[in-house]
Amino acid sequence: MNWLMEFAVYGTICKEKNLPMRYPGTPQGYRVLFDCADAELLADVQIWLSKNPHAQNTAYNVNNGDVFRFEQLWRKLADWFALDVAPPLRIPLTQFMPHHQELWASIVKKYNLKDIPFEKLVRWEFAEATLNAPSDEFGDVTKLRKAGFEGQKMYTEEVFHRWFNELAKMKIIPDYPAMEKSGSK
């Protein structure tokens, strides 16, 4: 599971409603430590493992190489959408977001996006559970580094921005940075 689609759709809806991108979890969840693993990084680890028999047949934690608190990362995610942020407020996403299906349909039409049904685009349960985490949630990657894998050198904010750009190129979300540059938004 990952947050990419949840944050992309949530940010898009905030942008279209002209609202700040408020962290929808608890204030405690805003301050705990998290990690993420880029999908391409996970593939790189699998390839590396296939070529390094000494590292096979054991479990590893994989992450981008950093840990973060949403109180630092959230502003950087909102920047991609050119949105302000607001203080955290617990929003039950599984109850609140399904009410935005009609708005999403209008966004798809307005920006000529791929018509993916809203209920198939995002599963809000994962975001709701993790953004309300009561304690730190990250894995120790020392074992993987000691085995010889050195690919964990990414900043999570850059990973999210790269994938937001990809989603915009694939016409799944609007390309707000391009619109900002051209002055069309």
pLDDT digits (tens, 9 = 90+) for 75-110: 999 999 999 999 999 999 999 999 999 999 999 999
Evaluate whether residue 100 is within a structural domain.
yes
Banded pLDDT at 153 (limits 50, 70, 90):
confident
CA dist 58 and 92 (Å) reads 37
The CA-atom distances, in angstroms, between 128 and each of 30, 83, 89, 91 are 12, 21, 12, 8
- State yes or no: pLDDT of 179 exceeds 90: no
CB 96 within 8 A of CB 22: no
Could you list the residue range(s) of the whole structural domain that residue 130 is in?
Answer: 4-34+66-137+155-182
The CATH number of whichever domain residue 14 belongs to comes to 3.40.50.720
- State yes or no: pLDDT of 163 exceeds 80: yes
CB-based contacts of 83: which residues, under 8 Å, 6+ apart? Answer: 11, 14, 15, 19, 20, 21
Provide the domain count of the chain.
1
Q: What is the pLDDT of residue 185?
A: 58
Q: What is the pLDDT of residues 98-147, one digit of tens each?
A: 999 999 999 999 999 999 999 899 999 999 999 999 999 999 999 999 99
Q: In the chain, what's the furthest Cα-to-Cα distance?
A: 54
Evaluate whether residue 44 is within a structural domain.
no
The answer, as to whether pTM is greater than 0.85, is: yes
What is the CB-side half-sphere exposure of residue 21 using CA atoms within 13 A?
24
- Integer-rounded Cα Rg, in Å, for the chain is 18
Neighbours of 122 (CB within 10 A): 21
Evaluate whether residue 148 is within a structural domain.
no
Q: What is the pLDDT of residues 42-83, one digit of tens each?
A: 999 999 999 999 999 999 999 998 999 999 999 999 999 999
